Homo-oligomer: A and B are copies of this chain.
Amino acid sequence: MDYFPSSLEVLIEKFATLPGIGQKTAQRLAFFVLSLPDSEAISFAQAILDAKKSVSCCVVCQNLTDKELCTICSSTRREPGIICVVSDPKGVLAIERSHEYGGRYHVLHGVISPMNNVGPDDIRINELVARVADGDISEVIMATNPDTEGETTARYISRLISPFGVKVTRLAYGIPVGSSLEFADDATLMRALEGRMEM
Contacts and interface: CB of A to CB of B under 8 A. Distances in A.
Interface in A16-37: 18-21, 25, 27-34, 36
A122 interface: no
A43 B13 CA distance: 11
A77 B94 CA distance: 59
Contacts of A49: 41-42, 45
Interface stretch (A3-11, A146-154, A188-196): A3-11
A136 interface: no
Contact of A10 (B51, B65, B92): B51
Contacts of A18: 29, 32-33
Given A5-B54, A54-B5, A71-B2, A14 B33 contact: no
Contacts of A29: 18-19, 21
Interface in A97-149: none
A32 B14 contact: no
Integer count of this chain's copies in the complex: 2
A10 B53 CA distance: 13
B14 A43 contact: yes
A55 B34 CA distance: 8
Nearest to A37: B52
A55 B44 CA distance: 17
12 contacts: A1-B96, A5-B65, A10-B50, A11-B50, A13-B47, A19-B29, A30-B51, A41-B48, A45-B45, A45-B46, A45-B49, A48-B48
Interface of A: 1-8, 10-11, 13-14, 18-21, 25, 27-34, 36, 38, 41-55, 63-67, 71-72, 88-90, 92-93, 96
Given A18-B29, A18-B33, A27-B90, 5 more contacts: A4-B64, A4-B93, A5-B65, A7-B53, A8-B51
